[in-house]
Amino acid sequence: MTQRQRRDVAYLFACGSLVASLLFWTVLVTAHTQQNLQFPPSQSVWEGVLHTMGILTEDIVKTDTEVLHGAAFNTSASVLTVPSEVIGGTVPSDTSDANDNGPDELSQWEVHAAYSLSIPSLGVRTPILLPSMRFWENKQWNLLEEQMQVSLNYGSVAYPHSAIPGEPGNLIIAGHSSPPTERAAESPYGSLFQHVPELSPGDQIIVTKNGERLTYVVSNSVIVSPTQTDILRQQNDESIVKLITCYPVGTTRDRMVVTARLQK
C-alpha cells in the first residue's frame, strides 16, 4: 500500500468515526430528552436538541443566580459590622451634626462616657470616654485606632485595658494636643491637651468616678516615639494616671507622657 493510499484510509476512518460519534450522541440526546423533558414527538431531533440546550441554559443561569445570591448573603452575614468610616464612608465635617449625632456614633463604636477629668492648673475639664475591649482583645489594631480617633472628637479617651480609677493599675488617657484632621479641628476637643506638656511635678490631675473625686499628683513627664508601646503596659503596684498626647504641639512626631500617682 502506497503512502497516498494509507492517507486515504486514515482519512476515511476519521470521517467514519466522526459520523458514528455524531449519530451516537444524537440518539443519546434524543432518548434522554424524550424521556425526561418530553418535548413533542413532532419536533425533529435537532429541534429537540436545541430545546434541550435552551432548558439547560436556563437551568445554568438560574443556578448561577442562586449561587451568587447565596454567596452575597453568606458574605454579608460573616462580615464584621463596623461603622462606615472603616469601610470607606465619609466622616461628618459639620461640628453641630457631629455633636448632635455624638451619642449614636459613640454607641455604634461601643464607647461610653465613664469618668471625668480635671486639670486645675491648665483649666482643663473633659469627659473620659471608655471604648469596649472588643478590638483590643481581638488585636484588631486598625479598628482600635478608628475607635479611638472617633472618640477623641468627643473628649479624652481612656485605652480599653485601663485600670479603674483609684484601683491598682494604669488609667491611660489620650487627648489631642492639636487637631490631626479637619474634623478634629472643628471639634471643641481638637486641642484639649495642648498645654499638657507644661505640667510640672506636683501639679494635680483630678479624676471623678461616680461622684468620687480622686486626686493624682504629677511625678514626671517623658517624650517617646510613637512606636514605643511599652507606655501602655499595665502594673498592679499602685494607682497611676498617664496622660498621652502628640508632641511637639502641632505635629504627630512624638508622644508626651505625663505620669501622676494617686494622692493618699
Please indicate, yes or no, whether residues 166 and 41 belong to a single structural domain of this protein. no
- Residue 203 Cα distances to 58, 62, 116, 194, 221, angstroms: 78, 73, 17, 16, 12
Please indicate, yes or no, whether residues 52 and 170 belong to a single structural domain of this protein. no
Residues 106-161 have pLDDT tens digits of: 999 999 999 999 999 999 999 999 999 999 999 999 999 999 999 999 999 999 99
Please indicate, yes or no, whether residues 233 and 190 belong to a single structural domain of this protein. yes
pTM: 0.62
Within a 10 A sphere around the Cβ of 169, how many other Cβ atoms?
18
Of 25, 48, 78, the last residue of a domain is 78
- Residues 255, 260, 263: CA angle, nearest 5 degrees: 170
Residues 157-204 have pLDDT tens digits of: 999 999 999 999 999 999 999 999 999 999 999 999 999 999 999 999
Residues 96-116 have pLDDT tens digits of: 333 445 678 999 999 999 999
Q: How far is C-alpha 20 from the geometric centre of its chain's CA atoms?
A: 62
**Domain that residue 67 falls in:** 3-78
In a domain, 83, yes or no: no
Of 78, 110, 144, the last residue of a domain is 78
What single-letter amino acid sits at 92?
Answer: P
Please indicate, yes or no, whether residues 73 and 99 belong to a single structural domain of this protein. no
In percent, the amount of the chain with pLDDT more than 90 equals 59
In a domain, 86, yes or no: no
Alpha helices in 40-119 (DSSP H): 45-78, 95-100, 102-108
- 3-state secondary structure (DSSP) of residue 24: helix
Q: Is 128 in contact with 158 (CB distance < 8 Å)?
A: yes
Q: Is 83 in contact with 150 (CB distance < 8 Å)?
A: yes
102 CB burial (10 A radius; 0-12, 13-18, 19+): middle
Of 52, 78, 104, the last residue of a domain is 78
Please indicate, yes or no, whether residues 158 and 38 belong to a single structural domain of this protein. no
